Amino acid sequence: MDYQSRYNAYRIMWVLVFFDLPTDTKKERKQASTFRKRLIKDGFSMFQFSIYVRHCASRENANVHIKRVKSMLPEHGHVAILNITDKQFGMIELFNSAKATSHPETPQQLELF
């Protein structure tokens, strides 16, 4: 592994948003749905039903998206935001019915300076 690819594995970040939102009333269902739609609009992908992930080119870019998620928090419910490096995310072990599955594909991202 060369220096550049090793550096990128620690520079590239993943933002994970975990949430448990109430859906008892029509208003709560609408707020939960709006929250999910806004996450998707901001570039997040569903990892599991209440876990969304977003690939970010840098820690600074991740902080922008974390701030954006904080600005759209619903009135009720629990939301957690986790920021990890690409190297850490790459060590995830995924299983589907006790069978190992492959990692999600890292998106190809164009960065303009």
Q: Which residues of the chain have pLDDT under 70?
A: 1-7, 9, 103-113
pLDDT of residue 104: 66
Tokens representing residue 2 in the block: 């060369």
pLDDT of residue 98: 78
How far is the CA of 28 from the CAs of 40, 42, 68, 71, 76, in angstroms? Answer: 19, 21, 21, 18, 8
pLDDT of residue 6: 52
Q: Which residues share a beta bridge with 78?
A: 20
What is the CATH number that goes with domain 3-100?
Answer: 3.30.70.240
Contact between 87 and 13 (Cβ < 8 Å): no
Q: What is the pTM of this model?
A: 0.81
Contact between 10 and 87 (Cβ < 8 Å): yes
Looking from the CA of 52 toward its CB, the CA atoms found within 13 Å total 20
pLDDT of residue 96: 84
pLDDT of residue 10: 76
